[in-house]
Structure 1
Amino acid sequence: MKKRWIIIIFVLLLTGCWDRNELTEIGMVAAIAVDKDSKTGEFEVTSQFLRPAAESTLTPSPERPYLLVSTTGNTIFEAQRKSNQSTDRHGFFAHNKVVIISEEVAREGLMPVLDSMIRGKEVRGHVWLCIARGVKAKEVLDIKSDNISRIPAIYLESLNSNAEQGTATLNLLTYFKDTLGQGINPVAGVLTIEKTETEPFERVRLSGGAVFHEDRLKGFLNEKEIRGYHWITSTEVAQTGALSFPSELEKGKFVTVEVREVQSTIKPEVKSETDISFTIEVYQEGRIAAEQAIGQFEERKQHVNYLHQVEEENKKLIEEEIDLVVKKAQKEFEADIFGFGRALHKDYPHVWNKVKDNWDEMFTTVPYTVKSEVEIPSSLLIQGPFQPES
């Protein structure tokens, strides 16, 4: 009797998965691009299928390691399923790296586009979301630029993962949280195609940010403006970057500060429901990573004073860029991308409940002040800049 129960238990443990997908039957999709068909008005979905054999380390193939399949449909889900009619593998989207949306589609609203991806759980929430500016989204997936990776999806994933202060990055889950939440609007990454002087004469670039309000693309931020956005929000991207200033040691030369840490806080002050203001506090720590000027500090005090001068220039830059992006968000986009409303909701929930219905209008005129602090504890040069022997 005991042996019989042992056999039954082992049979149950050794059963397979009823809904498993064999690797030989599925087509791995590494990236998705969404455009609008100009003739029918339907969504045009381009899927980048991987060709594993082309990337084999044993018998690599000279053929392109991916296949682009474009299909159309009234919904994204319908268009995705149509890809099964023209490829010999069933589309598998769980390993997708990036979703690229054309500017045209983004201005009409992203919820109809992203709904089926999240609802069906075919595309995971950590996937990067980018807006193609000035080009069709599918063109970004077919640029034959000189990348280290031969697969565009891997290249685009790395651009987002390694992004620094001049760029915005956003995944699907954060987009949904910001769009459906209160007191903040999302900012997504922007992909463009730029010309180069060497073959193949073009490359994809991640730069700036795409501002959304109520699910619709409102406009774009350039690199200086998106850096101001990062000073305020202290996102992960804000924690790394390089800032160059004119050197006080020698005219025409520059000093570069490497950003090591950024912390920021938005503090609301409420005097009445119609008298609300905010203070943006920013702390940055950095180090001098490069100094073009040559010379030598004769005293330690000179070195300390020089670091203070660089800190002051750094503070001035932070405050200018914050002022630049806040004014643009208020006057041009009318979109609270910083979370002023979220901070108000957190600290004064009773006030927020009274003003939230009119917050979009209030945000455009709400006053703010900026307080910044910069610390550069070391230049990594004990005596100062290098000076060659005469």
Structure 2
Amino acid sequence: MKRIVAAVLPLLVCAGLLSGCWSKKELTDLAFVIAVGLDKTKDGKYLASFQVVNPGNVAGATQRGGGAAGVPVSIYTSTGDSLVEASRKASEKVSRLLYYAHTNLVVIGEEVAREGLDGVFDAMERNNQFRTTARLVIARGQSAKDVLTVLTPVDKISANQIIKTLEFSEMAWGQTINADVWQAIRSLASSGRDLTVTGVTIEGNPKRGKWQTNVQSSVPDARVSLEGLALFKKGRLVGWVDGPPARGIVWVLDRIKQTNITIPWKGKKEAIGYRTVRGKTDIKATVKHGRPTVSVHIRAEGDVSEARVPIDLADAGVLFQLEKDIERHVKNEVKQAIETAQRERTDIFGFGDAVHRVDPRLWKKIEKEWNDRYFPNLDVMVTVDMYIRRTGLRNKPYVEAE
């Protein structure tokens, strides 16, 4: 009898400690939120937009040829004085519980971005469902709601298309940044680095983009595209950067994976194309007589991707001259980027963090005045080393001299 009690008693104790499925949620009771958009209403409240997946339509679209099924996502909106309030009020319109564990994209409207992102990320970080690995973009010239309502032809869920475009654009072109919420939180928490985020806009007619006919045409009436980098200062949007200066920012941030640079040659513009295959940027700060300076060194390797003029790529002297021209081109882009940031008084490069590492005592003294006083007048030395490793299968182009 004692043996039986000794064997059964531990089992009974363990059974009492087990919680069971007290927090279970049935799949049929959940609304999977793939993307969240944040705007401001005229009375200053938050307008939250939730892109919710319609599972049956997504699966059906694969079997029935895309547009034959219903729309793959639905957009629900609600307003509130805070993000949590707006999220809770959405329960008045959705027949299921909003579930954020699969939220992969956050779209912030310009008005919200200009007012500040501190409160936005505080609510997201405290939510135990929300993942800070969600991608982050700023709606440029459009509301976040309009961006999420555009239906996309290739990726049925438009949030996925934006995410993939961010990944491939940074990898192949280098004028955008694939940033997530966690990176934004780290930048906001740091006094020596400000935030930069990729902008997203709508090409075409936003009103027609939300209709199913938008994905039934080879030329959609509206499509979502990336446009420029948003510059933040202390969590508030202060300006935009486009084109080569935007790529200069990505160079300094050491986020360039691949890109294509076109340079002139002997009076002809856009004559030689250079494709980078790898790059590395090092930032170092030094302090002399209480005055900080920063050096930026960029080193990259690449191939000749295009030659539209007569040129002998087998000549070592020619390759050396090409490398120097490419170095000047990249150096000019980087200088434009640094001058733009200094003009906006926002240290998006993390130069302040570099100064902090090399001289913590000095940083403690200048930290509060860094953006407005020290950074705009900071001496930044830029050095660039570019190498041509391959010229392709042809050393002499088809183009003949005139």
TM-score between both structures, scaled by the size of structure 1: 0.89
Alignment partner of 2:283 out of 255, 266, 287:
266
Q: Quick check: 1:25 aligned with 2:37?
A: no
State the 1:66 CA deviation.
0.6
Distance in 2, matches of 1:127 and 1:106, equals: 17
Are residues 1:239 and 2:242 paired? no
Report the secondary structure of 1:34's partner residue: strand
Describe the superposition over 1:207-238 as per-residue Cα deviations: whole angstroms up to 9, x where unpaired: 22111111111111112111111111102xx1
Range moving further from structure 2, 6-15 or 334-343: 6-15
The corresponding residue for 1:203 is 223
1:309 equivalent to 2:321? Answer yes
Q: Tell me, yes or no, if the aligned pair for 2:48 and 2:78 is still in contact at 8 Å.
A: yes
Q: Which residue of 1 aligns with 2:393?
A: 381
Residues 241-256 of structure 1: pairs in structure 2 closer than 5 A: 241-247=259-265, 251=268, 254-256=271-273
**Aligned equivalents of 2:219, 2:166: Cα separation in 1:** 24
| Structure 1 unaligned spans of 5+ | none
Measure the CA separation in 2 of the matches of 1:280 and 1:214: 23
Task: Provide the rounded CA distance (Å) in 2 between the counterparts of 1:374 and 1:204.
Answer: 34
User: 1:189 aligns to what?
Assistant: 198
Provide the C-alpha distance between the structure 2 equivalents of 1:153 and 1:253, rounded to a whole number of angstroms. Answer: 35
Q: Deviations over 1:91-123 (max 9, x none)?
A: 001101110111011100011222111112332
Q: Deviations over 1:317-354 (max 9, x none)?
A: 111011111111112x1011111111111112222122
Give 1:170 deviation, angstroms: 1.5
Q: Match for 1:291: what amino acid?
A: A
- Aligned-partner Cα distance in 2 for 1:156–1:14: 43
For residues 33 and 291 of structure 1, the distance between their equivalents in structure 2, rounded to whole angstroms, comes to 44
- Given candidates 159, 168, 174, the residue that maps to 1:153 is 159
User: What's the counterpart of residue 232 of structure 2?
Assistant: 212
Contact 1:296 1:386 in 2 (8 A): no
Deviation of 1:312 after TM superposition, in Å, equals 1.6
Question: Residues 251 and 365 of structure 1: is their aligned pair in 2 closer, same or farther, counting only changes over 3 Å?
Answer: closer
Residue 334 of structure 2: aligned partner: 322
Distance apart, 1:20 and its partner CA: 2.5
Whether the 8 Å contact between 2:292 and 2:378 is mirrored in structure 1 is yes
Give 1:7 deviation, angstroms.
Answer: 6.8
On the 8 A contact 2:263/2:329 being kept in 1, the answer is no
Q: After TM superposition, list the pairs within 5 Å mapping 1:276-295 onto structure 2.
A: 276-293=292-309
Following superposition of structure 1 onto structure 2, how do residues 33-182 of structure 1 map, counting pairs within 5 Å?
A: 33-38=37-42, 40-56=43-59, 60=64, 62-145=69-152, 147-164=153-170, 165-182=174-191
Tell me, in whole angstroms, the C-alpha distance in 2 between the residues paired with 1:75 and 1:232. 36
Contact 1:35 1:104 in 2 (8 A): yes
**Which has the larger displacement, 67-76 or 352-361?**
352-361
Cα gap change, 1:376/1:8 in structure 2, threshold over 3 Å: closer, same or farther? Answer: farther
Query: How has the CA–CA distance of structure 1 residues 4 and 384 changed in structure 2, closer, same or farther, with 3 Å as cutoff?
Result: farther
Of stretches 352-361 and 9-18 in structure 1, the one that deviates more from structure 2 is 9-18
Q: Give me the whole-angstrom Cα distance separating, in 2, the residues matched to 1:378 and 1:185.
A: 37
Sequence identity of aligned pairs in percent? 27
1:201: Cα distance to partner? 2.9
Structure 2: how far apart are the matches of 1:383 and 1:225? 32
Instruction: Tell me the C-alpha RMSD between the 2 structures.
Output: 2.7
Gaps of 5+ in 2: 206-216
| Structure 1 residue 79, shift from structure 2 partner | 0.6
- The number of residues matched between the two structures is 377
What is the DSSP-based 3-state SS (H/G/I as helix, E as strand, rest coil) of the residue aligned with 1:262? strand
What letter matches 2:383 in structure 1? K
AA partner of residue 26 (structure 1)? L
- Report if aligned partners of 1:168, 1:190 keep a CA contact under 8 Å in 2: no
Question: What secondary structure, in the 3-state scheme, does the structure 1 residue paired with 2:145 have?
Answer: helix
Q: Secondary structure at the match of 2:149?
A: coil
Counterpart contact for 2:263–2:269, Cα < 8 Å:
no
Return the TM-score normalized by structure 2: 0.86
Letter in 1 for 2:99: F
**Which residue identity lines up with residue 294 of structure 2 in the other structure?**
F
Describe the superposition over 1:114-170 as per-residue Cα deviations: whole angstroms up to 9, x where unpaired. 21111123321111111111111100011235x311211111111122222111232
